[in-house]
Amino acid sequence: MMSKDKKSNLGKSKHGKGSASKGDAEVAAGGELHQIAGGDHPALTTNQGVAISDNQNSLRAHPRGPTLLEDFVLREKITHFDHERIPERIVHARGTGVHGFFELTASLEQYTTAKILTEVGEKTPLFTRISTVAGGSGSIDTPRDVRGFAVKFYTKEGNWDLVGNNIPVFFIQDAIKFPDLVHAVKMEPDRGFPQAATAHDTFWDYISLTPESMHMVMWIMSDRTIPRSLRMIEGFGVHSFRLINAAGESTFVKFHWRPKLGLQSTIWDEAVKIAGADPDFHRRDMFDAIAAGGFPEWEFAVQLFTQEEANSFPFDHLDPTKLILEELVPLKVIGRMVLDRWPRNFFAETEQVAYCPGNIVPGIDFSNDPLLQGRLFSYIDTQLSRLGSPNFHQIPINAPKCPFGNLQRDGHMQMAAQEGRVAYEPNSLSQNAPRETPAKGFHSAAVTETGVKGRIRAESFADHYSQARQFYLSQTAHEQAHIASALVFELSKVEHVHVREAMVGHLRHIEEDLAGRVAKGLALEKMPDAPEAAAPVQELEPSPALQLIGKMKDTLEGRVVGVLIADGSDGSVIKNIKKAAMDAKAVVKIVAPKVGGAKLADGSMLPADGQLAGMPSVLFDAVAVILSEDGAKTLSVESAAIDFVRDAFGHLKAIAVDKGGTELLKTANVEHDAGVVDANDTDAFVAAAKTRQWDREKLVRILA
């Protein structure tokens, strides 16, 4: 082991008031467990050979102040990271983009001059891109991963890009750590795998040394990161922003998207099997919904609060690893987003769209969130690298729909043939060159910033466990079991035992029972010690709003029911099941052993939407199995049919069966329960199909 004066500084995050005097490295590492063996280490330097004193914190005007442009360490590190790969996005490469519109339903004129937030009834065109984070553009749709949620509003006053995620918090508190986070989660550089997965050593080694990530870990191990559909996820702006009114007064705001169809996730085993059955599952689901006229819709809501109110919060709202509960600051619904048009060309639009958090309009401004401050620089730098030109804003999908003009000239792929003699401002030689508009132009919030600049994090950022504990305790018992099981699965893929032990140590701060369940699932011989926390863990009230299962809507709208048939199936039963499901606003797909369909008992031919081998039950939200006695006998030796009903049961789905369907269930050793209903009782089937059969789960799998 290293002597105390030679301990690694990995995972350090300095906080104010000398809280880092003992070194968060020891806290993050769980004592000496994670210290790197060996002698002295070479100095970490810039590319110019300048030794770096602090690789964890950006340079700020004061602990809670804005990040300074003079921070050459931050700029060099992120610039190099942004230019690592071309032309694919480094993160969020796998995306699905759709055109639509935003309609304002309640004015925020009291808080902002932004017309998009004050003109009720106005419909603003937009382009939304939802993406996975870790995988490449050719990866699967259904890994356990955060989903990026980015919206480009083409407003009357210029483009506004709201670039967030389906989770309201993030892994890190400071943008200077973003390259390290992504390097850790990406494919391991010596072997080139795993793709689109966090279940590997480098990710969990980094997380175990980064206590500030523990809240985000609870979210990514929850069912939020294995969504049923992109149409059934929430979206969050993550950071605090500012709204500025006509008097120049500013109010803090957080932005939220809430899906009309409600939240829904998959089961982990189901998500894995969907990846094999249809790697494009989410993209196809979105395409099919729009093609059928089932336009996805979200409510747009805001949380508004003053600096005085923020001062009373038991956390710092500028810390991106924290969220503001709805119980603390209620959500105010002010509009809706409808996605109604698929791109004409995937590359030209979905791939070339460039989102930048720095794209805002008059009446909206930034906060001093240090992660947001870094993103304001990083995103535009990334687009310059990926799209190859400072003129990327001229690509049609990126171009504003309002008039725009300035005196910037030339560059690669300049598509505008600017006229006139002058390309500078001010000038006296042109009567029509663009000019400043002091009255209506963009104005930043008039905020006084004072303090001693330095690389130190605010003391108010030091609490890494309280909201993580609150999130876990807010979940239903089923969701808590899923989080524990996800942690066991992920950490079981980690080769280094000391990393597993360190993570369990962190979990002890979140909830002792959770740590115990994970330790048992990993067969640890003894419970690891919990690392010293940088700040006391607070007991915060649980919030039902943080649940997913508890927030599921009692609906079949937007869901898909699969009906398995074969030769001799009863057409009237199929017709009744189909009608009941469609009346409940579900889509119905017919599955048969052959793609051409099946000949029913009355001699008629019923076309199929897909072949049994290519349309397993993992692609549906509920299933019906309508078979004749001979049909059941034929399918009893077909493994795809056995898997169809066995997986539907194992994934907690409702199953409607007639006499032949019952025989197939017997062959598959599938027991009847409340979610397995008579196909003639369509009301019971629809009621069961609107949810998962959660009580069944303990009978079909071992959970942590």
pLDDT at residue number 504: 98
Lowest-pLDDT range, 248-257, 371-380, 404-413? 404-413
**Please, which pLDDT band fits residue 13 given cuts at 50, 70 and 90?**
low
pLDDT tens readout for residues 406-447:
888 888 888 888 888 888 888 899 888 888 888 888 889 999
pLDDT over 60 at 25, yes or no:
no
Strand-pairing partners, residue 561, are: 588, 622
Percent helix, strand, coil in the chain, to 5, is 35, 15, 50
**Six-digit token pair at 639?**
């493994």
Strand-pairing partners, residue 332, are: 302
CATH topology match: 460-550 vs 556-700: no
Beta strand 587-592 with 610-611 is: parallel
**Please, which pLDDT band fits residue 30 given cuts at 50, 70 and 90?**
very low
Task: Please give the backbone phi and psi of residue 482, each rounded to the nearest 5 degrees, phi first.
Answer: -65, -40
pLDDT at residue number 47: 75
Residue 587 and residue 598: Cα distance in Å, rounded? 20
pLDDT at residue number 31: 32
Task: Please give the backbone phi and psi of residue 452, each rounded to the nearest 5 degrees, phi first.
Answer: -95, 120
CATH 1.10.150.530 fits 80-394, yes or no: no
**Please, which pLDDT band fits residue 16 given cuts at 50, 70 and 90?**
low
CB atoms within 10 A of CB 546: 24
pLDDT at residue number 388: 87
Q: First vs last Cα of the chain: how many Å apart?
A: 33
pLDDT at residue number 23: 36
250 touches 50 (CB < 8 A): no
pLDDT at residue number 14: 55
Q: For 218-230, what is the mean pLDDT?
A: 98
Q: Which stretch of DSSP H or E encloses residue 575?
A: helix 571-583
Active site residue 165: yes
pLDDT at residue number 69: 86
pLDDT over 80 at 21, yes or no:
no
**Six-digit token pair at 357?**
């958090």
Tell which residue, 672, 669, 662, has the closest CA to residue 628. 662
Q: Provide the 8-state DSSP code for 29.
A: H
List the catalytic residue out of 57, 159, 165, 391: 165
pLDDT tens readout for residues 649-696:
999 999 999 999 999 999 999 999 999 999 999 999 999 999 999 999
| Segment 279-284 long-range contacts (CB within 8 Å, at least 24 positions apart) | 279/139, 279/140, 279/141, 280/141, 281/141, 281/142, 281/619, 282/96, 282/130, 282/141, 282/142, 282/227, 282/229, 282/230, 283/96, 283/141
Residue 303 and residue 254: Cα distance in Å, rounded? 5
pLDDT at residue number 37: 41
Beta strand 95-104 with 123-132 is: antiparallel
pLDDT over 60 at 291, yes or no:
yes
Please tell me whether the peptide bond between 396 and the residue prior to it is cis, using omega within 30 degrees of 0.
no
Tell which residue, 353, 262, 332, has the closest CA to residue 117. 332
pLDDT at residue number 183: 95
Strand-pairing partners, residue 51, are: 45
Q: For 380-400, what is the mean pLDDT?
A: 90
pLDDT at residue number 10: 38
Tell which residue, 340, 314, 337, has the closest CA to residue 327. 314
Q: What is the per-residue DSSP string for 345-359?
A: -HIIIIIT----TT-
CATH of domain 556-700: 3.40.50.880
Tell which residue, 319, 325, 328, 324, has the closest CA to residue 464. 319
pLDDT over 90 at 297, yes or no:
yes
**Please, which pLDDT band fits residue 32 given cuts at 50, 70 and 90?**
very low
Amino acid at 84: E
Lowest-pLDDT range, 283-287, 392-396, 596-600, 636-640? 392-396
- Positive or negative, the CA dihedral 255, 446, 112, 98 is negative
pLDDT at residue number 33: 33
Q: For 25-42, what is the mean pLDDT?
A: 44
CB atoms within 10 A of CB 443: 14
pLDDT at residue number 425: 84
More confident residue, 508 or 53: 508
Tell which residue, 110, 59, 558, 476, has the closest CA to residue 302. 110
**Fold for the domain defined by 460-550:** Hemocyanin, N-terminal domain (1.20.1370)
pLDDT tens readout for residues 174-186:
999 999 999 999 9
Residue 559 and residue 583: Cα distance in Å, rounded? 12
Q: Which stretch of DSSP H or E encloses residue 124?
A: strand 123-132
Residue 69 and residue 359: Cα distance in Å, rounded? 18
List the catalytic residue out of 15, 92, 200, 282: 92
| Segment 682-688 long-range contacts (CB within 8 Å, at least 24 positions apart) | 682/576, 682/577, 682/579, 682/580, 682/656, 683/580, 685/577, 685/580, 685/581, 685/622, 685/624, 685/654, 685/656, 686/556, 686/580, 686/581, 686/584, 688/622, 688/654
pLDDT over 80 at 490, yes or no:
yes
**Six-digit token pair at 147?**
């989903």
pLDDT over 60 at 24, yes or no:
no
Residue 588 and residue 561: Cα distance in Å, rounded? 5
Tell which residue, 303, 331, 257, 324, has the closest CA to residue 467. 324
Q: For 188-211, what is the mean pLDDT?
A: 96
pLDDT tens readout for residues 121-176:
999 999 999 999 999 999 999 999 999 999 999 999 999 999 999 999 999 999 99
pLDDT over 70 at 525, yes or no:
yes
More confident residue, 30 or 357: 357
Q: Which stretch of DSSP H or E encloses residue 147?
A: strand 147-155
Q: What is the per-residue DSSP string for 440-474?
A: TS---------S--BS-B-GGG---SHHHHHHHHH
Residue 371 and residue 173: Cα distance in Å, rounded? 6
pLDDT at residue number 416: 86
What's the chain's average pLDDT?
Answer: 92
Distance of CA 664 to the CA centre of its chain: 39
Please tell me whether the peptide bond between 343 and the residue prior to it is cis, using omega within 30 degrees of 0.
no
Highest mean pLDDT among 51-60, 70-79, 87-96, 673-682: 673-682
pLDDT over 50 at 1, yes or no:
no
Tell which residue, 433, 386, 363, has the closest CA to residue 109. 363
pLDDT tens readout for residues 113-131:
999 999 999 999 999 999 9
Highest mean pLDDT among 74-78, 323-327, 415-419: 323-327
Indicate left, alpha or beta for 11 from its phi (over 0: left) and psi (-120 to 50: alpha).
left
pLDDT tens readout for residues 611-642:
999 999 999 999 999 999 999 999 999 999 99
pTM for the full predicted model: 0.90
**Six-digit token pair at 535?**
């700040």
For the chain, the domains span 80-394, 460-550, 556-700
Strand-pairing partners, residue 250, are: 244
pLDDT over 60 at 19, yes or no:
no
